[in-house]
Chain A
């Protein structure tokens, strides 16, 4: 046998390994790079910072991954976060629990609305949620009278700064939600339906799957997760800042999902990949700041890393 026949399967195996585990590898590489070249990187406090900062993006990206799994996209997540933030001061008097419930309701309602537009009216996801992206933040500002509000409720603020057994609450929430999302996708009928809808919608319809319910449900989940991220970020900030909270979050979340190996064409959801996608982008971000790169270079480097990560994880055609 010629050498070509020997190396070919090997190369195929390497590329398929990279495709599946590329994002984990990238995280490891970046960690090693930082350990070697970044001062004061190896400290518990630093890892804690990275995890806490990655948590909101991660939470939003989980919802985004589900939506993308159905061949959709949710551009409204940032605005939903801002609506959630705007609602916080209005209900904080009744306690943090009420705030969370109210924000969740708002997130779910907004998700139901997107889902309705997509599933019932057949409007394309990107445009349905674009309308919410534009209008939602305006609505949040109307609710908040355009004002940033300083928060003082200790219990609420603890959501952003507190620990449970040494693990920051935000990280804990993100971890639990990730596990739940993983279970949802792999182990529930809803999850399997979701991928089928994304894989071939007419086929899913004709297989008698509750396509509309799945779509609406997915957007509702995405809305709810965005609302949770909004509440947590608000708690961390110590203020309700509907004008700025969650700006461009949709792009960060989509990047995390895609870098994590879920194709934008739907039909496949990689939950752990998404989590690592969020971590990867967080590490990139941190690395750039810690090396004090100017904004111009930072943006170009980020662009290059996104392309490289997606290039490695892309679906290849067999030829």
Chain B
């Protein structure tokens, strides 16, 4: 019979391929961690692992917002500047108490996100260019607030804010827990709410979403506000961690966030993606950086070559896996 001449792939093989494709980044992460564990005796130390988790958490929070934005088919270039702005505002606000230290940056950064969202949703301007403008704007605002960067606000010593960045529970940093909680909530929001469904619909087919009567504009506005707020919150955590509102932070962070989201399997064209993938993407990025440090002898110029090549390799692998699965 004709049908049997082409042997169908075994069930298990197919299932495995599916896992590989969906979790391509996770597989690379597991392999990478295993290899690093073998190659570098100090990699597996509890200290190092705790550090990795802590360092991942700030970018992770930014990337969480970016995940939503990218699934909706948009992009948010302003997060790097907004992140820095959030940190400065948190440090500045800490002198007026914990509530101000947290709320001031969240409100201001959320507002920038809101303006992004309004411009994108109401005027049909491309997200790329709107958020590029607010990247400039947020950085300018930061410089204006800090006397052209000459003033660095310190988080008030003894402020409760510091605990957010430096506190530890069972030896693991508070930002790690916060990040996990945010990702949990993010996952729920994305998979289990109408808002999340609208985000997917928007990214998959905006025109259809509109004709199906989904609240397209409102969803977009919410999305960008969320992204701005999360970037601001990452800034708060960072300020608490660094004990000051560092002005030079966040340059190029938007590209880091975009690349970890994409490494995590979210489609840049929108319509598909997971928050878990983003978490994996962030960990992968931290891993590669740590491995470069563990090797220790790499010329600083080669380090960027390696980072670029790594990004490429992960994306190509993912792509090839996806393709092999389809055929």
What is the interface of chain A, defined by CB distance below 8 A to chain B?
73, 117, 121-124, 126-128, 130-139, 141-142, 146, 251, 254-255, 258, 263-265, 294-304, 306-307, 310-311, 314-317
Residue in contact with B133 in the complex, picked from A122, A263, A306, CB distance below 8 Å: A306
A300→B135 CA distance, assembly (Å): 9
Min distance, Cβ B86 to any Cβ of chain A, angstroms: 17
Q: A137 CA to B306 CA in the complex, in Å?
A: 11
Known: A297-B144, A304-B133. 17 other contacts (CB 8 A): A132-B308, A134-B308, A135-B306, A135-B309, A138-B303, A138-B304, A142-B301, A146-B300, A254-B132, A264-B126, A297-B140, A299-B143, A302-B140, A306-B129, A306-B136, A307-B129, A317-B124
Per DSSP, are chain B's interface residues mostly helix, strand or loop, or mixed? helix
Q: How far is the CB of B32 from chain A (nearest CB, A)?
A: 17
Nearest-neighbour CB distance to chain B for A260, whole angstroms, equals 11
Docked complex Cα distance between A231 and B194 (Å): 53
A307 and B130 contact, CB distance less than 8 A: yes
In contact, B125 and A296 (Cβ under 8 angstroms): no
Q: Is B56 an interface residue (CB 8 A)?
A: no
Q: Can you list 16 A-B contacts (CB < 8 A)?
A: A124-B262, A128-B312, A130-B258, A131-B308, A135-B304, A146-B300, A264-B126, A295-B140, A296-B143, A297-B140, A297-B144, A298-B140, A303-B133, A303-B136, A307-B119, A307-B133
Contact status of A135 and B305, CB under 8 A, knowing A297-B144, A311-B123: yes
> A251 vs B255: C-alpha distance in the bound complex, in angstroms?
12
Given the complex, which residues of B lie within 8 Å of A311, measured CB to CB?
Answer: 119, 123, 125
Instruction: Tell me whether B299 and A142 are in contact (CB under 8 A).
Output: yes
| Bound complex: CA A15 to CA B142 (Å) | 35
Contact B304 A121 (CB under 8 A): no
Of A126, A258, A295, A306, which one neighbours B258 at CB under 8 angstroms?
A126
Once A and B bind, how many residue pairs between them come within 8 Å at the CB atom? Answer: 143
Cβ-defined contact, A314 with B302, below 8 A:
no
- Per-position 1/0 for B222-263, Cβ under 8 A of A: 000000000000000000000000000000000100110010
How distant is the Cα of A138 from the Cα of B303 in the complex, in angstroms?
Answer: 7
List the 4 closest A-B pairs by CB distance, nearest first: A135-B308, A138-B304, A299-B140, A296-B143
| Complex-state Cα separation, A278 to B268, whole angstroms | 27
> How many residues of B are counted as interface, with CB atoms below 8 angstroms from the partner's CB atoms?
47
**Of A121, A127, A265, A315, which one neighbours B259 at CB under 8 angstroms?**
A127
Interchain CB contact under 8 A, A302 and B136: yes
- Please, how many angstroms separate the alpha-carbon atoms of A301 and B307 in the complex? 34
**Which of B3-11, B39-47, B316-324 lies on the face that meets chain A?**
B316-324
Residue pair B301, A130 in contact (C-beta under 8 Å): no
Q: How far is the CB of A144 from chain B (nearest CB, A)?
A: 9
A135-B304, A264-B129, A306-B129 known; A314-B123 Cβ under 8 A: yes
Chain A residues with Cβ below 8 Å from B258 are: 126-127, 130
**Given the interface contacts A121-B319, A130-B258, A311-B123, does A300 sit within 8 Å of B128 by beta carbon?**
no
